[in-house]
Structure 1
Amino acid sequence: MSPLTDPPATTPTPRIPPLYAPIPPAVHPRHTAIDNRTAAWARRYGGGTRLSERLAEQDIGVFAARILPTGREDVAQLLGDFVLWLFLVDDGVIEEGELGRAPGALTAALQRLLWVAENPEAALLTDDPLAKGLRDLHARVARYGTAGQVTQWVNALREYALSVVWEAGHRLAGSVPDLEDYTLMRLYDGATTVVLPLLEMGYGYELSPQERAHPATRAAAQMASFIITWDNDLLSAHKEAQEAGRTGDYYLNVLRVLTHHHGLSLAQAVSTAIAQRDRVMVHFQRVCSALASQSGPQLRQYLDSLGHFVRASLDWGVSSHRYTTPHDPAGLPSTFAPMPTDARAEPLAISAISWWWDPHRLRLSPSARRSRQASGNSALLATSA
């Protein structure tokens, strides 16, 4: 860990150019109704705070409707409400609350909520708005999911909790992790993995343990998380920098990691982060295409949903008031780039995730590999030479 200096009174705001978006946009036809109900859910379970009112105006239900554009409306509704609950925790408890600088106390608070998520019958936190909301979410997850999916959802919440406590340690110390550690932390504290069980519920299926544990499936899900969180870091950079400039609060994103540890200017950090997400985006599509060619309909639907999740995050990020900040316009891009800035087939220089580019570890069948080569996308095998 390396210490951070206090943010300057006026924190520089990066310019974010159009981002590469090869996945077509989509949205559930009932997105307006879903968003309205999610806003009402925020007011019901948000404790009547200014935060809940603010979140109610950030189109979080539309975000969920983009993730499940042809899925069950009731599950898209569940997803919108769940994402809003996560923001109540992230913004209210961690980012804007005292617990964000107290890893031990934060661990205890999150453990209580995790106990409620796993044991909603327990007489614990009975008057707490977050716990009440979590009990409502658990009941609906159990209604639309299998017992295995409920367990997967709770376990993903536990992963999220562990990562935000990790981040709280850096906030307390005023330190910044290196790129390796930041990548590992960000894949979970971005709360992307907690959404994955709902991708299955939205279309009424459950992946087999073999399908979910397949290295290529795991790599595809992790790559989706990487792209989503890197995009979020880029698109939220103005909001975070300006808030830090006003309050002096600690903030952390990939741009700060790159400037702090790699000596890059802010503009160079933006270019580097975009190149990283572009290279992963290109490879994500290669792996999903190759895996889909040897998979059944359920896994193909899952891979398709991962793609919708990636595009939904991008579309929501450039349009939601959460990041466009109308009171202090962020100047986010209104168009998308037609080509990636980096389409190389070599792994990123981050050892924890370099295995994503290893075709032998991904264990894709020879027929799937030949199919991709025949279509001109031979880069998937480039690292095996």
Structure 2
Amino acid sequence: MGPGLIVPPIFSPIPPAIHPRHAEIDVQTAAWAETFRIGSEELRGRLVRQEIGTFAARILPEGREEVVSLLADFVLWLFGVDDGLCEEGDLSRRPGELAGALHRLLRVAHNPEVPVLPDDPLAAGLRDLRLRVDRYGTAAQAARWVDTLREYFFAVVWEAAHRDAATVPDLNDYTLMRLYDGATTVVLPLLEMGHGYELQPHERDSTAVRAATEMMSFLITWDNDILSYHKEKRGTGYYLNALRVLEEHRDLTPEQALTTAIAQRDRVMCLFMRLAEHLSDEGSPQLRQYVAGLASFIRGAEDWGISSVRYTTPDDPAQNPSVFTDRPTDSSPEPLDIPVIAWWWDLLPTRCASSRAVRRPVQRTA
């Protein structure tokens, strides 16, 4: 194919980090995928080459190795669902049937002892994941893990409805859908498990912490859309992407859409850094650890996004960056013109704290 968009270095004030056992974890995750036969043979072959274990090792660079391994297997399983069922499979344009399939999997996650889908590889893998979630997390964390899986499933059915109708959602709806269909929130309970603590509900459910969590989802999914645009556009058929939404509903060229999407994520990154600093200053040691985990998740996704063959597509190379920049293209303190997230900017004084990294917690809790 001809040359695509040239993506410039993206603003990232968060320092990189990786778990020292990342290579071993990646090998273990590839073996886990083979053991449970996740996806078709062709899909599984693609997934095990994408360094998903390394991705998990970037998300939890100081986490317990067994939880990093659990996270790696879970992320690979999620790609098995997303690629195999939701985007490339027979149900990708049949939202009603997809909802049924996902609800059966949700039953397995909620009650792994129930004989639902006894011969299904995805169900078998999910049973193993649930047993390990119970082993390394609390009952409340396991319950939240199932709840966030439900959020993800609900969002990808919404996505399938657009695929079925070949419609491109407006920016507001797309943003709302993307907060969940990127499977970012399903990782949150494992951020706690990885460090052996449990964030108290009064902190986790506070407006400011919820906003920081949503900003994490926005940044990871917007970055994913920017870095995967080449891969998605060169494919056949329908695709959903922030750049496509901007092209469709704001009548922008691909180059203009790229510039706009980068400016949007830069403005959110500035706000996230300011809010993370505030939460780290005011919150408990557990909240400081949680906020540091959100930051590691963002940076881990960025580092994986510019290095994994999933997005570099060696057979038709994407013109993606290999480094990051320390300067945002847009540090405006004004809210983005996206009503569903504009409330984020009401939480703090308006200034960008892009020069200060999220601090590590001062103590580790048991």
Partner of 1:302: 290
Q: Flag structure 2 segments of 5+ consecutive residues without an equivalent.
A: 357-366
Tell me if 1:168 matches 2:156.
no
Alpha-carbon deviation of 1:323?
0.5
- Counterpart CA distance in 2 for 1:274 and 1:213 is 29
Which amino acid in the other structure matches residue 8 of structure 2? Answer: P
Report if the CA contact (8 A) 2:274-2:353 is conserved: no
- Counterpart among 95, 117, 136 of residue 109 in structure 2: 117
Pair 1:136–1:344, CA change in 2 (3 A): same
Cα RMSD for the two superposed structures: 1.9
Partner of 1:41: 32
Which amino acid in the other structure matches residue 157 of structure 1? Answer: L
Partner of 2:321: 333
Alpha-carbon deviation of 1:14?
2.1
Structure 2 residue matching 1:281: 3-state secondary structure: helix
Partner of 1:6: none
Which amino acid in the other structure matches residue 75 of structure 1? Answer: V
Q: Show CA shifts across 1:74-101 (max 9, x none).
A: 0000000000000000001111111010
Tell me if 1:159 matches 2:151.
yes
- Counterpart among 82, 88, 92 of residue 100 in structure 1: 92
- Counterpart CA distance in 2 for 1:259 and 1:148 is 42
Pairing 1:117-266 to 2, within 5 Å after superposition = 117-243=109-235, 247=236, 249-266=237-254
Which amino acid in the other structure matches residue 105 of structure 2? Answer: L
Report if the CA contact (8 A) 1:221-1:306 is conserved: yes
Tell me if 1:16 matches 2:7.
yes
Alpha-carbon deviation of 1:289?
0.3
Number of residues paired by the alignment? 355
Q: Show CA shifts across 1:178-216 (max 9, x none).
A: 000000000100000000000000000001110101111
- Counterpart among 33, 44, 51 of residue 43 in structure 2: 51
Structure 1 residue matching 2:61: 3-state secondary structure: coil
Pair 1:376–1:337, CA change in 2 (3 A): closer
Tell me if 1:82 matches 2:70.
no
Tell me if 1:320 matches 2:312.
no
Alpha-carbon deviation of 1:375?
12
Q: Show CA shifts across 1:45-85 (max 9, x none).
A: 21561111110010000000000000100000000000000
Structure 2 residue matching 1:176: 3-state secondary structure: coil
- Counterpart CA distance in 1 for 2:24 and 2:219 is 28
- TM-score, length basis structure 1: 0.89
Which amino acid in the other structure matches residue 263 of structure 1? Answer: D
- Counterpart CA distance in 1 for 2:11 and 2:238 is 30
Tell me if 1:284 matches 2:276.
no
Moved over 4 A (4+): 372-377
Pair 1:345–1:190, CA change in 2 (3 A): same
- Counterpart CA distance in 2 for 1:262 and 1:225 is 23
- Counterpart among 17, 35, 60 of residue 26 in structure 1: 17
Alpha-carbon deviation of 1:334?
1.1
Pair 1:119–1:275, CA change in 2 (3 A): same
Which amino acid in the other structure matches residue 304 of structure 1? Answer: A
Report if the CA contact (8 A) 1:42-1:53 is conserved: no
- Counterpart among 262, 268, 282 of residue 256 in structure 2: 268
- Counterpart CA distance in 1 for 2:354 and 2:92 is 49
- TM-score, length basis structure 2: 0.94
